[in-house]
Copies of this chain bind each other. A is one copy, B any other.
Amino acid sequence: MSGAGTGAADAAAVGADAEAETAVETYTTSVVGGTGFTGGELLRLLAGHPAFEVVQATSRSADNMTVGRSHPNLRDLDLRFSDPDDLESVDVLFSATPHGVSMGRVDEYFDVADTVVDLSADFRLPEAAMYDEWYDGHASPEYLERAEYALPELNRENLPGADLIAGGGCNATATILGLKPLVDAGVLGPETGEVVVDVKVGSSEGGAGGGAASSHPERSGVVRPYAPTGHRHEAEIEAYLGLSVSFTVHAVDMVRGASATCHVFPDEPVSKADLWTGYRGAYADEPFMRIVSGGGGVYRYPEPKSVAGTNHGEVGFELDPGNRRVVVFSAIDNMTKGSAGQAVHAANVALGLPETAGLEFGGLHPVGSP
């Protein structure tokens, strides 16, 4: 659909056309920052997407090298990285650069693209003051109001027609997906007591850069408190759930995955039936969410393994009657639902495409440290 308008109304019309006719219209897309892990995940998803055509992937370090050299799963993709300073015109530009880059280049991005989807933290928070508090300030605060948070389960109604989409943080995503049904049900609110969120994440969160702490000999087999307190994703959770949570993140031995265990102490007693009602109400119609809570077999609760490589999120819960605690488990693939998949999902919604387009992969079993 290169050159055409990408407003939601147009997109919806195109969607209708697509069903009526056999020809499928496509949006040209580019990925800025394609050698990183989330950049590679974007390329994987976009390359398999029926409505997106990848016309450019940039990399300063791998300029002119094949995408498959960095991402062996993409060896069949006929594409070479190009210079990030030489952006092509596209319908949708996805940016997967380190934090701080997009806020400096967003004007440039809009010069070449109708829709910008940013996977960094640069447009995630709604107010400039939050960047002053949690990051190093913001270079383009005038865009913050325009940006829409990518997570459709939270923000679907504001995504159609959005032209600046801000992908959520992986740990924040896992937490928000776990707790939102409790907030919606009134079980949890800003006045409730402490909410402890204990997160376990895989090594892909550390990015492709390497470093001693992420070398295989040091990183294997760890249960390592890497963000005991003060993790920046707290800001997102507070901004979008209206809750201050006690947040601690541990590195564990897997590559993909984020698992949030949320310990909640509601003011009023809740029953297991209440919980089922709340979570079913929130997620029964969501194409990517599953409630996994008890039952038989080996996989009785959410596990990152079960959703590795997919855009699915699993949530589950148990009641601890003795201390009136609700324990909520939430598991995602940090690379997919927690980053690139969420971005594609949001773009699908923004452009009026089928929500699951390009995100149909359902995962593997058995799978090791995914």
Contact = CB atoms under 8 A, between A and B. Distances in A.
Contacts of A65: 296-297
Nearest to A193: B194
A257 B223 CA distance: 9
Determine the interface band of chain A, counting residues with CB < 8 A from chain B.
35 or more
A217 B363 contact: no
A259 B217 contact: no
Interface stretch (A7-15, A25-33, A208-216, A273-281): A208-216
Given A193-B194, A217-B204, A363 B254 contact: no
Contacts of A302: 225
A220 interface: yes
A21 to B, nearest CB: 10
B210 A322 contact: no
Contacts of A229: 318-320, 325, 327
Contacts of A220: 203, 216, 220, 255, 366, 368-369
A309 interface: yes
Contacts of A254: 221-223, 253, 368
A306 interface: yes
Interface stretch (A73-81, A84-92, A113-121, A153-161): A73-81
A369 B73 contact: no
B69 A295 contact: yes
Given A73-B306, A194-B194, A320-B229, A217 B48 contact: no
Contact of A320 (B48, B193, B230): B230
Given A208-B212, A216-B203, A361-B361, A263 B228 contact: no
A40 B318 CA distance: 29
Interface in A186-229: 193-194, 196, 198, 200, 202-204, 206, 208-225, 228-229
A41 B365 CA distance: 7
8 contacts: A37-B365, A70-B297, A72-B303, A73-B365, A217-B255, A217-B366, A223-B303, A248-B261
Interface of A: 22, 37, 40-41, 44, 47-48, 65, 69-76, 193-194, 196, 198, 200, 202-204, 206, 208-225, 228-230, 244, 246, 248, 250, 252-257, 259, 261, 263, 265, 290, 292, 295-306, 308-310, 316, 318-320, 322-323, 325, 327, 329, 331, 360-370
